[in-house]
Structure 1
């Protein structure tokens, strides 16, 4: 079965090495935003020229230099303003309004919020305890304001027997990685599908109550271990409505039409938003993606490369951006986009200049030769916006260092222009998952070098005389959340 291929293992690994070197070259040539910017810089996409990248960085620098620092500050408020009650409830942009233009400029001086999106099919295997490579990649200098993480085939051991309180360990790991600056705004799960939204803790006062909805394309209970379908979470930030949708579409190359059909079903089945004010006529549609200012759709879309297995591998041994582009010419999703069969009004995050993200041997950089699955870009991130130039993609890449699944994690860093809102929106009013927040900080603190030092000293052999430090160790663990906050 493999004799015809004659693909050397080292050639197979050249694909990953080329992708890594390409990513490194992109990151080393990127121009970082100044420290005063409220969002963080990412790697410019290769589809944009270096001169364009330089001008964008200079523009961001000039706009941020005239604004306040990116870190949140508490400003003095004149008593006369509080007495005057000088805004109209439900109106846009009036002075004193919580979601108005003045407050927007105070909180987000550039009127821009950054969003870090992740999709990863975990292959029913536990991922890393530390998600730094996925959430905090080395090419990004600052944390995003919003993190949207979608997983498919999440390990079943992460779920409780009754389906409640699911994937708690994973949620705590995500919180621990992001640290005290971010909180879990909302999460939703369906079988082995999960979607998490983390947000800067300063912004939880400016978002509406998050809503969620699910679509299950395999409703039978026996199919819950291999869930296919979609999860959606929506909310507004100031006056900008957002929809985040994580999906897992049918597998295998010969089920392309099934994927197209499921896309239509998802668009018609997701009933959001439900609690916001009546939509404008231009937003009223049976297609949920038409009802929001910004939509992010990501997941294991399962679209395949329509090429012979041996031809695809032979092309990938060249391990160059040209070979990736030649492969993408045979990509089912790209063909469907060009025909207008799917994702109407959407754009892919950016140009793909990394190796296919499926199918790898577990723990290896090499593709799975035994399965004879054609290496494909199954894991994708797309977006749609109402206004032109409202969304800007800074980075679109995969993580090659995490090898616990036959899929590689894919992430994108976006910037969104935010508009003022109305105070009669159903405000979230500072609510977040406090239990996950405290447990995540405790886990983060227990991994701190200071705690490791105490743990090692407490665990020294009994035959070596040592002081009883157990009380000190317990005290340190108890106070870790506050200690971590001070360190940050």
Structure 2
């Protein structure tokens, strides 16, 4: 599928659904994999007798998979040969999105169509993995998942999700990857007593032999609470229980949570502020282009400073910030806070990453999404290339696990949306009466 301005065109999407519509019936049998939409193919693809997922007879006879040799990884489902077949470059593209939705605090509605959140205009290609990190989510959690699935489309499935109070984390992966992952594990930490609005929710799993940890966090607010935010970080690192006992095969043993994984993505409303006055910030915003704004403020960035001091996130990296502060906006506006509090614009919404081996993650894009303005925060997204290594089949395989109910509901809604688009484009018959 070709992407125009980061998104497929309506015509392409509708053609996709004309090809796939029969597979989205809610009456599909529960034991039929094909009815889960796994036979859908993108518009413009050409059916062939032999596809990349059609093995030769000799391959079928020779593959041992679950009883393969864990030591060499050869001939196994997660071994080097299979990894090279699925990912010839031994790397996978991952997109992280973080957004404080600001929904519980005010009666604020969020978009029915979340396509701008999933496919920002500056993005060109669709990744294999989406990790959606949300804070201050609305109470209708299932509806939120369905809207995300409808926006992402039929090429990806909801692999797993976790909610904790007003925090959410949802991971969508390409359909073909559900056979190459371990069982997903989740955990959560509350850092605000009796109220689950601050803390973190996390998920880990293995893709082939690469262990990954994703975190969605919301730290304590206010300009001067730097020490409390540092404490939030430390509480999360010391309290999260991942991987679980009995499901630790494939992960590295370590007392430090962050050292148990090959790759860690930590995103959220971390609430670190800029130590400048509102007047100074307004002057900077007027004087510099967005791409240069942060460079002139980095010395006043609380997050950068605590990293340099070794107090929090000291082993993490971040893509270059070339966008404007993401907080705090007037609702449905491009104007920063005009309330009596006159909060200082800040880069509160961040995505950081950590690797066991240097160079295993490359940041391809890091930007905010200005088209979504229903919250006082702008969403932030990052696209990353992650190096993969082969694994062995002795781990707890997910074996095709995904949330089929969300997949069908989301794609039915998506199909209906494009059906309405098609009908709206039909030419109407002229009502002009011609007199002879």
The CA RMSD measured in Å over matched residues stands at: 2.5
Deviations 1:284-317, CA, capped at 9 Å, x for gaps: 3332111100000000000000111111112211
Question: For residues 230 and 419 of structure 2, what CA distance do their matches in structure 1 show?
Answer: 50
Aligned to 2:247: 276
Corresponding position: 1:201 with 2:175: yes
Question: For residues 359 and 377 of structure 1, what CA distance do their matches in structure 2 show?
Answer: 9
Aligned mate of 1:134, from 102, 117, 121: 117
Aligned mate of 2:93, from 106, 114, 130: 114
Aligned residue for 2:300, secondary structure, equals: coil
Contact 2:66 2:77 in 1 (8 A): no
Corresponding position: 1:252 with 2:228: no
Question: For residues 316 and 278 of structure 1, what CA distance do their matches in structure 2 show?
Answer: 50
Deviations 1:454-479, CA, capped at 9 Å, x for gaps: 8999xxxxxxxxxxxxxxxxxxxxxx
Aligned to 1:352: 321
In the TM superposition, what is the alpha-carbon distance from 1:372 to its structure 2 partner?
Answer: 1.0
In the TM superposition, what is the alpha-carbon distance from 1:451 to its structure 2 partner?
Answer: 6.5
Aligned to 1:17: none
Aligned to 1:143: 126
Aligned mate of 2:390, from 389, 407, 420: 420
Contact 2:233 2:312 in 1 (8 A): yes
Aligned mate of 2:379, from 396, 405, 409: 409
Question: For residues 277 and 305 of structure 1, what CA distance do their matches in structure 2 show?
Answer: 40
Corresponding position: 1:384 with 2:354: yes
Structure 2 unaligned spans of 5+: 7-49, 428-436
Aligned to 1:96: 75
Question: For residues 258 and 296 of structure 1, what CA distance do their matches in structure 2 show?
Answer: 21
Number of aligned positions between the proteins: 375
Deviations 1:358-400, CA, capped at 9 Å, x for gaps: 0001011110122310000000000001111100000000001
Aligned residue for 1:155, secondary structure, equals: coil
Contact 1:90 1:424 in 2 (8 A): no
Deviations 1:416-459, CA, capped at 9 Å, x for gaps: 010000111100000100000000011001101456628999xx
Question: For residues 337 and 75 of structure 1, what CA distance do their matches in structure 2 show?
Answer: 49
In the TM superposition, what is the alpha-carbon distance from 1:178 to its structure 2 partner?
Answer: 1.0
Deviations 1:186-210, CA, capped at 9 Å, x for gaps: 0000111110000001000000000
Aligned to 1:303: 272
CA distance 1:81–1:176, shift in 2 (3 Å) = closer
- Between 362-371 and 288-297, the greater mean CA deviation after superposition: 362-371
Question: For residues 85 and 441 of structure 1, what CA distance do their matches in structure 2 show?
Answer: 35
Question: For residues 214 and 82 of structure 1, what CA distance do their matches in structure 2 show?
Answer: 44
Structure 1 unaligned spans of 5+: 1-26, 29-70, 159-166, 458-488
Q: TM-score, normalised by structure 2?
A: 0.81
Aligned mate of 2:365, from 364, 388, 395: 395
Aligned to 1:243: 213
CA distance 1:434–1:315, shift in 2 (3 Å) = same
Contact 1:239 1:418 in 2 (8 A): yes
Question: For residues 262 and 277 of structure 1, what CA distance do their matches in structure 2 show?
Answer: 25
Question: For residues 81 and 330 of structure 2, what CA distance do their matches in structure 1 show?
Answer: 53
Question: For residues 86 and 177 of structure 1, what CA distance do their matches in structure 2 show?
Answer: 34
CA distance 1:265–1:97, shift in 2 (3 Å) = same
Aligned to 1:326: 296
Question: For residues 243 and 376 of structure 1, what CA distance do their matches in structure 2 show?
Answer: 26
Contact 2:65 2:393 in 1 (8 A): no
Question: For residues 313 and 363 of structure 1, what CA distance do their matches in structure 2 show?
Answer: 20
Aligned to 1:182: 156
Deviations 1:320-360, CA, capped at 9 Å, x for gaps: 24433222220100111111111131101x11111000000
Contact 1:148 1:196 in 2 (8 A): yes
